[in-house]
Every structure is written in C-alpha cells, then in structure tokens.
A and B are shown apart, each in its own frame.
Chain A
Amino acid sequence: MTIASNFLVFVALGITLLLVWRQSWRGRVRLFVVQSWVLAALAVTLGALVRRPALVAVGVVFAVMKTWIIPRVLRRMGHGSPLRPVAPGRSAGLPVLGAGALVVVAYAVMLPITGAVATGVPTRGAIPLAFAVALIGLFVCVTGRDALGQVIGFLVFENGLFALALLATYGLPGIVEAGAFLEVLVLVLLMEGMLVQIRREHDSLDIERLRELRG
C-alpha cells in the first residue's frame, strides 16, 4: 500500500513538472484536473490503508471540488483572454530547470524530519515529494506573468499541501478539513470576481499593468 501511495505522489509531481512546461491555459487546467484526480485517489488509498472512512469521504469531497467545481470556474476565467503562446525568446526550459532544483530543496528541508525520527509513519518517504509539488506550485505562482498563471500556481501549491497533510497526518480534524475546503472555494470565487474587474479595467490580465502602487 505504501508503494501505491508513493507512486501516486510521484505521478502528481510529474504532472506538476508538465504544468510548468505547458503554457496554454486549457492545457494547464486539464493537467490540474488530472493531478486532482490523482490526489483524490491518494486520499482514498490512505483511507483504506489505515481504515479510516473519514479519509475516503475527504477524497470524495476533494474530487468534487477540484475536478469539477473549481475547473469550471477556471475555464470561465480563461474566457476572453487571448490564448498566449510562449513568447519568443522565453522557452520553458529555464522554469523546468528551476522546478527540478526545487525538488532538491524540498528534500533538503524535509529529509531531517522524515528520516529515522519518523519510523512510525509508513508514508514518510513521500512527504518530500508532496512538499516539492507545493514548492513548484508556489514557484509558478510567483513567476506567473499574468493573473491566470498566478491562480493556477496557487492551486497547485494548495494541492501539494493537501498531499503533505494526508501523508503526514492521515487526516486532520474534520473542522479544519472543512474549513480549508470552504476557504479554497471562496478564494477561487473571489479571484474570479477580481479577474473580471481587472480585465475590464486594463483589458488584459498581464500583471505588469498592475503598477499604480509604488513606494
């Protein structure tokens, strides 16, 4: 069973790297949906491993939220923005290299606390991988050239943290899970409203145009 969970997290990391490489919005949303399915499967797998029905329920809610509701909102956000091809002279090679380096960083941070000290946690080996997903998501978020890139980066970051929480704790108390789900949902809806307004004001989602406030 731990082999299954390690494999699932590994796949999720692979998808994250693809997402860094991929530049089209539709492609990125599709990759995000696939990744969310993988993580929902992870929740169900772990639920079976430790016999906690609550985890299976978390997996189902997660799947509904991140493979259905949020992607719908994301596709709405993408409407109307020109499909931006990779700008000439800016290949995706460098970001992918950066993402690879972040995997190393994730191991450096997480190994000391997932090695010998944590022998009681069978899934400890995958924790650095999940953290790498989160770090790369953050990387996509901060280097995003437009608001859409920042939103998808944030969502991948959130997915990585969800996987990390699963692997490290086998489910947080229900009230925290519920709260976290609700907040992500509200946040994405708020973001959508804001993007609509940004597009109306600036006729673009390029964050370079958001530069009224300095100093």
Chain B
Amino acid sequence: MIVALLALPLAAAGLLARARGRLATVLHGAAVVGTLLIGLVLALGAVRGTEAAALGGLLRVDALSGWMIMVIVVVATLAGAEAPRYAAAGRAFYALLHLMVFTMLLAVCTDDVGLMWVAVEGTTLASVFLVNFERTRASLEAAYKYLLICSVGIAVAFCGTVLVYYAEVVRQQTLAEHTAHALRWTALLALAPSLPPRVLEIAFVFLVVGYGTKAGLAPMHTWLPDAHSEAPAPVSALMSGVLLSIGIYAIARFKPIVDAGAGPGFAGRILLGLGVLSLAVAAAFLWAPANYKRMLAYSSVEHMGLVALGLGFGGALGVSGALLHVANHGLAKSTLFLLAGRIRAAYGSAEVTAVRDLVSVLPFSGRAFLLALFALLGLPPFGLFVSEVMIFGAGFRQGHPWLAGVALALLLVAFGGLLRAAHRMLLGAAPTPAPAGAAWPGSVPIVVALAVLVLTGLAWPPGLGDALALAAKVVSR
C-alpha cells in the first residue's frame, strides 16, 4: 500500500514528462485522484492505529505519518484541480508537480531519517524549476535565492543527521559495526536514553536550523516570501500548504529522541524562541502589506511560528493543537493562494492597491477569498480558531503565560494588518475597464476545502479527536 502510494506519483511524473495536450491533462487528473484515494485509505488506517510497513521497515507509516499523508494528498488535490490553467505554458509543469508530491510523500513515509533527509532535499530540487516557471526577472531571482538558501539549510540538516549517527558511534565506544539500521527512527528512539546528551543537543540545533529553513521559521525565512509569491498559484499552494509543514514534521520527528536523550525542555525552548521570533517578523511585515501574494507568504511564516509554539509548549494539548493547525493552515492557505492566482489573472497585478471591488468583479472567487481569509485570521467558526485556542491553552497550562501573551499580542497585530488589506481589496470602484472574470472550472474542491474548515471548527467528525491524540503521542511521550 505504501509502495503503491509512492509509486503512483513517481510513475505519473515519468509518464507526464512525455505526454502532451489532452492526454497529459487526463493522465494528470487520474494521478491526482489515484493518489488522493490511496493516500486517504492508508492515512485513515494509520490514524486509527494500524501501522503499515514495507521494504523491510524502510517505509513505515504511523499515526503521525498518516496525519501528514492526509494533509499532503488533500492539498495536492486542491492544487491539482487548478493546475490545468497553468500547465499550458510548458510540458514539464505536471511532471514536476507530481515529482514534488512524490518527494513530500516519501519524506513522511520513511522510517529512516537519512532517507527523510534525501527526500526533503528532493522537494527543493523538484520545486525550484516550478518557482521559476514564468521565467521573469523576479521569478528567476526568487528561484535562485530559494535554491541557494534551502540547499545551505538542508546541508546543515545533513550535518545534524550525521551528528545523530555520530552519537550512536560515541555510545558504542568502539568502531565495531554500527547497530543495524542505526538511522531508523524507531531504533534511535529506543536507543535515545543511552545516547550522549551533549552530542544530541548540538545535533538538534543543526537539525532545527536546517529543517527550520525549509519550514520558513524566522530568521531562516528570507527565501520564503520571494519563492511563494513568484511561483505559479498551484505551486505556491503546495509549498505554503504542505511543504513548510514537512520541515516542521522533520523537526517533530527528532524532538522525542532529543527529549529522551538530553532531557525535556531543551528542544522545547529552542522551538519556543523561533516560534515567537517568526510571529514577530511576520507581524512586522503584515502590519502594512503591499502585495497580497507576499502577504499570504508572510502569513505562512506566522502560522509556522504558531505550530512551532505548539510543539514547544508540548503536552498532549500543545502537540495535537500544532498538528491540527498544520492541517487547517494547509487547507486555508492553499485555497487562498489558488484564489490569489485567479485574482491576479483577472486584475493583472499582485498589488493590494490594484485590486478594487473584488466581490463584484469575481463573484465566486472574491467571496471565497474573503471567507478563506477569515478562516486564516482564526475567526470562528473556522478550524484555525480551534487549533489556535488549543495551542495557546497549552501555553498557559504548561506554565508559559508570558510567552503565550506576547504571541497573542503579535497575532493581533497580524490580524489587524490582514483585515486592513482585505478591506482595501473589497471596497472602492472597480478599475476601468472592469477586469473580466474568466470562468474557472473546478471550484468544487475550494468549496469542499472551506466546508472542511468549518467542520474542524464547529463539530469534529467522529474519530478526529482520537486520531489527533494518537498522532500527538508519537511526538510527546
């Protein structure tokens, strides 16, 4: 089952690199739906407690992986439904999109932290060409920064992974053969209490800096606003919606190992510091955003900061809040980026001041954009309200009231800025001649995404609470 989930997007990428025209679109659609179905079946099993493994344990899906698979395939479907509008410009678009999905799925499906590193680096290489897909000066610059900064970051994460392996060598005190599968997460977790704490601490610092770069945590976020605002909308949706969370996922995988080896608190403190810093950086920009795609990108920095806070506060409540936030943010942000792509196509500009009278120009997309923005702001009845309440609740409960208070204040600043931008885009007279709102096929996924967001906010479907608790247990033991 896991093998099928990984093989499908990979095979699709291979085929789509050759296919043209209508055939390519049909193949793309089939691959998207197939990945969604297999992914959901696998994920639903995993979050109910049935772990799956394949290839001698190299691939392993537990509740946490299952949760991430669910987010990846759902966001990939949203992005995939919008992709045909953008794919006309070049054949490689579909192929690289599926390659990116493959690398992301591989990163969360493997038990080997070394292979996870390879997969995360693969996500950068697969997406860098997509960022530069429009081949303008700005997108070229964004892609160059993205490739360079993320490659450096991921090399730092490599150093951290090496040091974790080194910790295992140090523990044995001999150069005898390594413990079998010493880079397997399950093996590391079992060994963790006997690993040298100092080595683990330094390794974790490297890992957080490295994977934190991919996750867009400040101060390593500098590539993010450029890459996310210049990429075509489906790519931005994938990058902001799930790729960032995969960086966080990698950090979350190492956290229980470091907690067990170096004592609780060390990893949490680092995550709290980076979380608050990310919120502060995002709030400073979001106070007066000029470009709505950059605004969405900075808001991703903000939300990744919130997720880091949730993991840092820890406890069952904090971690499950963080995981729920990953899913909610993935849905809301990818929807917003897709709609931003439509708005940009209609108005021909990504500046906030260029967009006027949004709802009457684009009746459906405008309204959906507004609703998704409300969701992103964390207003009830949307799911982000619930996950933010969980994260801050964990903060107050775990004895960090001041930190939680500061974070809440920063959140309010960002809230004000986003609301102001929305206000500007909605009001005013439409520019003349009025931009033509082209008909966009496939608005169903967007409606479904918004409906799911309301669902996670108002009434949890049966089993969601248990699934979250099970996934959170992987991180906080």
Q: Does A101 contact B (CB under 8 A)?
A: no
Given contacts A113-B199, A179-B118, A210-B144, contact A172 B162 (CB under 8 A): yes
Q: How many cross-chain pairs have Cβ atoms below 8 Å apart between A and B?
A: 132
Partner of B122, one of A165, A176, A183, A213: A183
Say whether A215 contacts B285, CB under 8 Å: yes
- Specify which of B125, B141, B159, B285 is in contact with A190 (CB 8 Å cutoff): B125
A194 touches B152 (CB 8 A): no
CB of A176 within 8 A of CB of B170, answer no
Chain A binding surface SS class: helix
On whether the beta carbons of A169 and B142 are closer than 8 Å, the reply is no
Q: In chain A, what residue has the closest Cβ to B199?
A: A113
- Closest approach, in angstroms, between the C-beta of A73 and any C-beta of chain B? 15
Provide the bound-state CA to CA distance between A109 and B159, in Å: 13
Which of A119, A150, A176 is in CB contact (< 8 Å) with B148?
A150
Contact of A197 among B115, B135, B145, B162 (CB under 8 A): B135
A213 touches B118 (CB 8 A): no
- Interface stretch of the complex, out of A11-19, A87-95, A153-161: A153-161
A170 to B112, CA, bound (A): 18
User: Which of chain A's residues has its CB closest to B168's CB?
Assistant: A169
- Bound state CA distance, A10 and B172, in angstroms? 27
Q: Is A176 within 8 A of B163, CB to CB?
A: no
Bound together, the chains give a CA A190 to CA B155 distance in angstroms of 17
Roughly how many angstroms separate A169 CA and B114 CA in the complex, as a whole number? 13
Minimum CB–CB distance from A35 to chain B (whole Å) comes to: 17
Complex Cα spacing A153 to B283, Å:
33
Q: Is the CB of A194 within 8 A of B118?
A: no
A114: min CB distance to chain B, Å: 9
Q: Report whether B148 and A213 are in contact in the complex, using a CB–CB cutoff of 8 Å.
A: no
Contact code string B141-173 (vs A, CB < 8 Å = 1, else 0): 111110110011001001101110110011011
With A112-B198, A215-B285 as contacts: A190 and B129 at CB distance below 8 Å: yes
Q: In the docked arrangement, what's the CA distance between A201 and B229, Å?
A: 20
Determine whether the beta carbon of A194 is less than 8 Å from that of B158: no
Known: A117-B198, A154-B152. A175 touches B128 (CB 8 A): no
Per-residue CB proximity of A170-198 to B under 8 Å, as 1/0? 10110110011001001100110010011
Q: Is the CB of A173 within 8 A of B114?
A: yes
Q: A147-B144, A154-B151 are in contact. Are A161 and B162 (CB under 8 A)?
A: yes
Does B290 reach chain A (CB closer than 8 Å)?
Answer: yes
Chain A interfacial positions (CB closer than 8 Å to B): 50, 109, 112-113, 117-122, 134, 138, 141, 147, 150, 154, 157-158, 161, 164-165, 168-170, 172-173, 175-176, 179-180, 183, 186-187, 190-191, 194, 197-198, 201-202, 210-213, 215
Besides A176-B117, A180-B158, 10 other A-B contacts (C-beta < 8 A): A113-B198, A117-B196, A120-B169, A120-B175, A121-B166, A121-B175, A169-B165, A194-B144, A198-B144, A215-B294
Residue pairs across A and B with Cβ atoms less than 8 A apart, 30 shown, are: A112-B198, A113-B163, A119-B173, A120-B169, A120-B170, A120-B175, A134-B159, A154-B151, A154-B152, A157-B155, A161-B158, A168-B166, A168-B169, A172-B114, A172-B183, A175-B115, A176-B115, A183-B118, A183-B121, A183-B122, A186-B125, A187-B125, A187-B151, A190-B128, A194-B144, A201-B140, A213-B141, A213-B225, A213-B230, A215-B285
Q: Rank and list the top 6 A-B pairs by shortest CB-CB distance, nearest first.
A: A179-B118, A120-B173, A176-B114, A168-B166, A210-B141, A212-B138
